[in-house]
Amino acid sequence: MKVYKFGGTSVKDASGVRNLKKVLQTIGYNDTVLVISAMGKMTNAFERLVAAHLLNDKEGIEEAIQYKEIEGFHLNMIKTLFDNGDHPIFEKVEDLFDDLNGFLFDNNSSDYDYVYDQIVSYAELLSTKICSAYLSENGIKNKWLDIRKCIKTDDHFRQANVDWKLTSRLLKRKIKSSALTITQGFIAGDNYGKTTTLGREGSDYSAAIIAYCLEAEDVTVFKDVAGVLNGDPREFKNTVLLHQISYKEAVELAFFGASVIHPKTLQPLQKKKIPLRVKSFVNPLEKGTLVVNGVDIEPKIPCFILKKDQILISISDKDFHFIMEDDISEIFDYLHQYSLKVNLIQNSAISFTVCVEDIFNNFNDLVKDLNDRYKVLYNKNLTLYTIRHFTDETIKKIEKGKKVFIKQLSRETAQIVVQN
Ligand code: ADP
Ligand code: ASP
Ligand code: MG
């Protein structure tokens, strides 16, 4: 069994969906699970719908461009892909929008994370329904699977944790070999029938979960780049393709922010030694990058990662006391409580500095709590550069013309927090 994953960029428009068909015809699709993300930027559009809904802006929901944008996008997509206006997909899409409207009408909960998962998941359902119908219509027989019935999680909405045993059992029962199964990434279900999600950009992780549970031969994620490069081509010039990297190297790159692979993807694959391939959906026959056990990185060159929107917080005692282990423990409790992602830590006798990312907009609450006991200073809008396998020249290149706040070097990794 093979697992393929196509991301939002690969199906951002009708020609992307047509290309998906071409890729499958080129590389084969027997005994395959195909994970497809929400189309284009639809998850962002649904996030805006969540916000309108929770503001109770009823008229806004009906009229707002967000909603029109979403419905309009998908209707346009099916009108372009299907000549026959009577094709059952039109009704299926309508049914999904009816369900969504039903939720918007009935929901009384103001729990943001819960509501988010119930609404945003429609983007993946719509996308997979449309792709599945298009492929069937064009000679690629497939079975659409509601992954929420197989990947089971706790009810930690927006960051759900997988129940591996149950998930394995359900996936094995539901997915039969020698066919093409099409399913969603990113979404899952709890034991009470509620939809959960695994974290933004989580469909690479879904592909890994499925591969792990079904002991797949390999996983291939198809991207708009040739594979894993030694830097994000949107941010760095003259990037070079990495032919092969170890799981450990891939985890490091992903953890530090190489967004081409979701960081959670690697662990399940590494555990069962399932190779991961990162390939171009434009040139699927090219080799791309292979992630396996073996050489750390081939070719061995410095790799650059950039993370924007970093906040550097310096925390010190109001009475000039040392910052001791119990303080650090308390500070970390707060960081955990407010789900701030810590990317770098530095401490001195009287202050403790962390570079964090405020994904869930909790920073102000954190500062409020910390202010009770500590003096808190911070700088926002900073950038964290990580260089794996750095050299003196590469550090100089990154630092040039920027104000450096913190620099930390370990054997293989340099991290530099700067203001551009
Ligand atoms: P998906 O369509 O699966 O969601 P993403 O858009 O998340 O794919 O990932 C592909 C993007 O990742 C590329 O367009 C590229 O800009 C970015 N990227 C960041 N770091 C790297 C890297 N080291 N190598 C390749 N691409 C990278
Ligand atoms: N559609 C989800 C997102 O945009 C998951 C994914 O694409 O990986 O975050
Ligand atoms: Mg993505």
316 in the same domain as 411: yes
3-state secondary structure of 232: coil
- The CA 52 to ligand 1 mean position distance, Å, reads 29
- The CA 275 to ligand 3 mean position distance, Å, reads 20
Regarding the beta carbon of 276 and ligand 2, being less than 6 Å apart is answered no
**Which ligand is closest in space to the CA of residue 226?**
1
Q: Which ligand 1 atom is at minimum distance from the Cα of 9?
A: 2
Q: Is residue 232 part of a domain?
A: no
- The CA 180 to ligand 1 mean position distance, Å, reads 26
- pLDDT single digits (tens) 23-56: 999 999 999 999 999 999 999 999 989 998 999 8
- The CA 233 to ligand 1 mean position distance, Å, reads 8
Residue 122: what pLDDT?
98
- pLDDT single digits (tens) 147-206: 999 999 999 999 999 999 999 999 999 997 778 999 999 999 999 999 999 999 999 999
Domain enclosing residue 314, as ranges: 303-419
Regarding the beta carbon of 184 and ligand 2, being less than 6 Å apart is answered no
327 in the same domain as 201: no
- d(C-alpha 300, C-alpha 231), whole Å: 13
- Identify the band that residue 348 occupies on the pLDDT scale cut at 50, 70 and 90: confident
**Protein residue closest via CA to atom 15 of ligand 1:** 232
Instruction: Tell me, rounded to whole angstroms, the distance of Cα 367 from its chain centroid.
Output: 27
- d(C-alpha 156, C-alpha 161), whole Å: 7
**Protein residue closest via CA to atom 3 of ligand 2:** 201
CATH of the domain at 322: 3.30.2130.10
Q: How far is CA 326 from CA 329, 331, 333, 407, in A?
A: 5, 9, 11, 26
CB atoms within 10 A of CB 408: 14
310 in the same domain as 184: no
Count of structural domains, the chain: 2
Q: Is residue 285 part of a domain?
A: no
Q: Which ligand 2 atom is at minimum distance from the Cα of 37?
A: 7
CATH of the domain at 85: 3.40.1160.10
Residue of 232, 261, 264 to test ligand 1 pocket, by largest number of atoms within 8 Å of CB = 232
Question: For all residues of the chain together, what is the average pLDDT?
Answer: 94
Tell me which of 147-151, 227-231, 314-318 is least confident: 314-318
- The CA 201 to ligand 3 mean position distance, Å, reads 5
CB atoms within 10 A of CB 183: 30
Higher model confidence: residue 324 or residue 148? 148
For the chain, percent helix, then strand, then coil, each to nearest 5? Answer: 40, 25, 35
**Protein residue closest via CA to atom 2 of ligand 2:** 201
Q: Is residue 313 part of a domain?
A: yes
2-6/32-36 β-pairing: parallel
Residue that terminates a domain, selected from 200, 216, 232: 216
**Which ligand is closest in space to the CA of residue 280?**
1
Residue that terminates a domain, selected from 187, 216, 245: 216
- The CA 232 to ligand 3 mean position distance, Å, reads 14
**Protein residue closest via CA to atom 1 of ligand 2:** 38
Average pLDDT over residues 288-314: 96
Q: Is residue 394 part of a domain?
A: yes
Residue 61: what pLDDT?
74
- The CA 284 to ligand 2 mean position distance, Å, reads 21
Regarding the beta carbon of 247 and ligand 2, being less than 6 Å apart is answered no
Q: Is residue 376 part of a domain?
A: yes
Residue 58: what pLDDT?
76
- d(C-alpha 353, C-alpha 355), whole Å: 7
Q: Which ligand 2 atom is at minimum distance from the Cα of 44?
A: 4
- Identify the band that residue 64 occupies on the pLDDT scale cut at 50, 70 and 90: low
Q: Is residue 290 part of a domain?
A: no
* Percent above pLDDT 70 for the chain: 98
Residue 406 has pLDDT above 70, yes or no: yes
**Which ligand is closest in space to the CA of residue 39?**
2
Q: Please check whether residue 417 is in contact with residue 310, taking contact to mean a CB–CB distance below 8 angstroms.
A: yes
Regarding the beta carbon of 41 and ligand 2, being less than 6 Å apart is answered no
Q: Please check whether residue 181 is in contact with residue 143, taking contact to mean a CB–CB distance below 8 angstroms.
A: yes
Residue that terminates a domain, selected from 216, 251, 272: 216
Regarding the beta carbon of 185 and ligand 2, being less than 6 Å apart is answered yes
- The CA 351 to ligand 1 mean position distance, Å, reads 36
Regarding the beta carbon of 117 and ligand 2, being less than 6 Å apart is answered no
Residue 350 has pLDDT above 90, yes or no: no
64 in the same domain as 199: yes
48 in the same domain as 144: yes
Regarding the beta carbon of 206 and ligand 2, being less than 6 Å apart is answered no
Residue of 131, 151, 201, 224 to test ligand 2 pocket, by largest number of atoms within 8 Å of CB = 201
Report residues whose beta carbon is within 6 angstroms of any ligand 1 atom: 7-10, 37, 201, 223-225, 228-229, 231-234, 258-260
What DSSP character marks residue 340? Answer: P
Average pLDDT over residues 253-263: 93
Residue 183: what pLDDT?
98
- d(C-alpha 323, C-alpha 78), whole Å: 60
- The CA 232 to ligand 1 mean position distance, Å, reads 7
Count of residues making up the chain: 420
* Percent above pLDDT 90 for the chain: 88
307 in the same domain as 167: no
Q: Is residue 275 part of a domain?
A: no
207 in the same domain as 310: no
Q: Is residue 268 part of a domain?
A: no
Determine phi and psi for 56, rounding to 5 degrees: 60, 35
- Identify the band that residue 66 occupies on the pLDDT scale cut at 50, 70 and 90: low
Residue 249: what pLDDT?
96
173 in the same domain as 66: yes
Residue 399 has pLDDT above 60, yes or no: yes
